[in-house]
């Protein structure tokens, strides 16, 4: 790469940092609905020595010229807020204004064979991930199509359009991500077949890991990048995650058991790994912990963490689990219970006197038993007092931004549902809030984060009896009699306290008024927690 383009790249990233927002390198980078910015760029192109960023930042190679003053006037006329004026080189202005024109010509080039393009796209990828981390998102979706690449972010479970790129840029960034940045860089990115990879990145003093997956689609392909490790998530406690005090008591008790199995269930992306990491923090330092993970996500200070390699037979969950059992462990974490083989390793570890943790995909806590039976584990074995200790199932529910939430009774849009919800919440309806006009504090999403809604079951003797008979209905009835609270009770409580939007609640558990039979039991796992706490 020439020295001049090196300097340009450095400046580009420097100004991107100042603007702390996107650097638009071409017209095609703009939101098509964004007419004023489009016109502004056309105007800049005519001047030749000035360029405007979406943040309002003005870059000029000739700051004392009239064009700076004119630019501010033109921006004002279009309702755009003019920001700081930053002097720059004419080369950078040209670089920022150019782009769209030579897109066609570049289309057939192999992006990974051109070093300048590679380092530009590597930078673009890093900037995108850095923006994602700043916006506290969990996933980046690149939807690469013939005409454009749509970049969407998922934050607090919801997907929104972050920006658009030219199609070429999406193809290049994807290729660079898979070919240059991943752990197994030998894999050659092929958009025509589904591919997976894992990528370590050091961004803004944080060691993060991206899990990449691609899927061919009509007219292009998708790449989804999940951001796995960020510093602030690491130290979350069960309390901060949203578990109730009674539930925490039961889970704490489980982590102190000498042997047995603790299972954390929930759909994909419901934060099961974060919960497992919080459980590990509760385990005393005199116990040796082995975790088998795919991949290692959050660093756990008191554990030996072993990554799974699905390409090698003896290095899958079951194989490494068996190997860990020979390493004099006290506690074993099997990242995910995917198959019968792994389930058998879990049972064996548990029966031979180890405390085992794992995660499993089910929608509620009692279903864990049916799922294990489906995997080929016998009911008799599951009912053995040495095996199941505690079953946890969790989901995530968006939390309202308290700054802009409005009482449901004052929201015109929610009037059609008011009667229905009034029947559920009675005089507590006045405390129920919904997403409001959105504000700066919540990034105009109306939500401030997510809370765990969980079911926690301590397996007592009576429960083991129901498990051996695989009588789930009878078991649930027994649990409710004990004052146990499932999802509906937890969700109703959060909505009635004004923490969560009833619309989000219904997305999770369906029509709230259909739950009336529950009669607002705000009972918790209090009785069970009391019985089992020392």
Give the max Cα distance, the chain.
85
445/525 with CB nearer Zn ion: 445
Helices 3-19 and 115-134, packing angle to 10 deg:
10
Residues 393-412 that bind Zn ion (CB under 5 A): 401, 403-404
208/401 with CB nearer Zn ion: 401
- Taking CB under 5 A as the binding criterion, the range among 392-400, 438-446, 454-462, 523-531 that sits at the site for Zn ion is 438-446
Closest approach of Cβ 205 to Zn ion, in Å? 28
- Taking CB under 5 A as the binding criterion, the range among 36-44, 185-193, 433-441, 493-501 that sits at the site for Zn ion is 433-441
Q: Which residue has the tokens 């919904």?
A: 434
41/404 with CB nearer Zn ion: 404
Element (H, E) at 67: helix 66-77
Closest approach of Cβ 162 to Zn ion, in Å? 19
442 is a contact residue toward Zn ion (CB under 5 A): yes
Closest approach of Cβ 448 to Zn ion, in Å? 7
Q: How many helices and strands (H and E) does the chain possess?
A: 21, 18
Q: How many residues bind Zn ion (CB under 5 A)?
A: 6
445/524 with CB nearer Zn ion: 445
CB 29 within 8 A of CB 37: no
Task: Quote the CA–CA distance of 262 and 253 in Å, as a whole number.
Answer: 11
**CA nearest to 272, candidates 388, 360, 207, 331:** 360
Closest approach of Cβ 497 to Zn ion, in Å? 18
- Taking CB under 5 A as the binding criterion, the range among 20-28, 320-328, 417-425, 437-445 that sits at the site for Zn ion is 437-445
16/405 with CB nearer Zn ion: 405
Residues in the chain, how many? 534
Closest approach of Cβ 446 to Zn ion, in Å? 6
Helices 35-47 and 66-77, packing angle to 10 deg:
160
84/444 with CB nearer Zn ion: 444
Task: Quote the CA–CA distance of 188 and 202 in Å, as a whole number.
Answer: 23
Task: Quote the CA–CA distance of 496 and 516 in Å, as a whole number.
Answer: 14
For residue 20, count other CB atoms closer than 10 A to its CB. 11
Closest approach of Cβ 447 to Zn ion, in Å? 8
CB 166 within 8 A of CB 29: yes
10 is a contact residue toward Zn ion (CB under 5 A): no
Q: List CB contacts of 187: < 8 A, sequence separation 6 or more.
A: 178, 179, 195, 197
444/530 with CB nearer Zn ion: 444
356 is a contact residue toward Zn ion (CB under 5 A): no
Closest approach of Cβ 404 to Zn ion, in Å? 3
- Taking CB under 5 A as the binding criterion, the range among 20-28, 354-362, 368-376, 439-447 that sits at the site for Zn ion is 439-447
Parallel, antiparallel, or unpaired for β 331-334 and 289-293? parallel
**CA nearest to 28, candidates 180, 133, 153, 150:** 150
63/157 with CB nearer Zn ion: 157
Q: C-alpha 87: how far from its chain's center?
A: 39
Interface residue with Zn ion among 9, 18, 439, 472 (CB under 5 A) is: 439
Contact positions vs Zn ion (CB under 5 A): 401, 403-404, 439, 441-442
């Amino acid at each position: 790469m020439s020295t001049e383009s090196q300097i340009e790249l450095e400046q580009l990233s420097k100004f991107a940092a100042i603007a702390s927002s996107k650097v638009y390198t071409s017209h095609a980078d703009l939101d098509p609905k964004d007419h004023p910015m489009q016109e502004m760029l056309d105007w800049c192109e005519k001047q030749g020595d000035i360029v405007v960023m979406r943040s309002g930042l003005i870059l000029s190679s000739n700051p004392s010229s009239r064009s700076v003053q004119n630019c501010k006037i033109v921006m004002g006329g279009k309702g755009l807020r003019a920001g700081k004026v930053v002097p720059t080189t004419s080369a950078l202005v040209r670089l920022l204004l150019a782009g769209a024109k030579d897109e066609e010509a570049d289309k057939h080039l192999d992006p990974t064979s051109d070093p300048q393009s590679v380092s530009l796209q590597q930078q673009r990828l890093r900037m995108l991930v850095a923006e994602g981390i700043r916006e506290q998102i969990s996933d980046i979706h690149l939807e690469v199509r013939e005409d454009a690449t749509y970049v969407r972010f998922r934050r607090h479970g919801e997907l929104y359009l972050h920006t658009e790129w030219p199609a070429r840029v999406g193809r290049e960034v994807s290729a660079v991500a898979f070919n240059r940045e991943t752990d197994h860089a030998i894999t050659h990115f092929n958009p025509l077949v589904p591919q997976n990879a894992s990528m370590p990145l050091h961004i803004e003093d944080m060691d993060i890991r991206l899990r990449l997956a691609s899927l061919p689609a009509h007219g292009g392909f998708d790449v989804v990048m999940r951001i796995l490790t960020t510093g602030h998530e690491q130290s979350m406690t069960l309390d901060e995650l949203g578990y109730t005090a009674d539930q925490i008591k039961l889970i704490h008790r489980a982590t102190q058991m000498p042997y047995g199995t603790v299972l954390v269930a929930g759909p994909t992306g419901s934060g099961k790994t974060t919960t497992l990491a919080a459980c590990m923090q509760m385990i005393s330092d005199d116990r040796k912990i082995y975790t088998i993970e795919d991949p290692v996500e959050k660093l756990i200070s008191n554990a030996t963490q072993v990554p799974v390699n699905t390409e090698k037979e003896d290095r899958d969950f079951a194989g490494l689990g068996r190997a860990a059992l020979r390493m004099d462990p006290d506690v074993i974490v099997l990242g995910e219970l995917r198959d019968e083989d792994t389930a058998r390793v879990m049972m064996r570890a548990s029966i031979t006197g180890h405390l085992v943790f794992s995660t499993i995909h089910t929608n509620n806590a009692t279903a864990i038993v049916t799922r294990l039976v489906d995997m080929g584990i016998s009911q008799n074995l599951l009912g053995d007092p040495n095996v199941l200790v505690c079953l946890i199932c969790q989901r995530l529910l968006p939390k309202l931004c308290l700054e802009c939430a409005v009482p449901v009774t004052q929201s015109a849009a929610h009037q059609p549902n008011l009667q229905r919800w009034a029947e559920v919440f009675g005089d507590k309806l006045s405390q129920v809030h919904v997403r409001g006009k959105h504000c700066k504090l919540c990034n105009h999403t109306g939500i401030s984060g997510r809370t765990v809604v969980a079911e926690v079951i301590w397996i007592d003797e009576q429960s083991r009896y129901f498990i051996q008979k695989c009588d789930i209905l009878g078991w649930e009835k027994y649990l409710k009699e004990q004052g146990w609270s499932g999802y509906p009770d937890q969700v109703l409580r959060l909505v009635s306290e004004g923490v969560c939007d009833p619309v989000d609640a219904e997305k999770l558990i369906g029509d709230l008024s259909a739950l009336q039979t529950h009669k607002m039991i705000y009972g918790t796992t209090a009785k069970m927690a009391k019985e089992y706490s020392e």
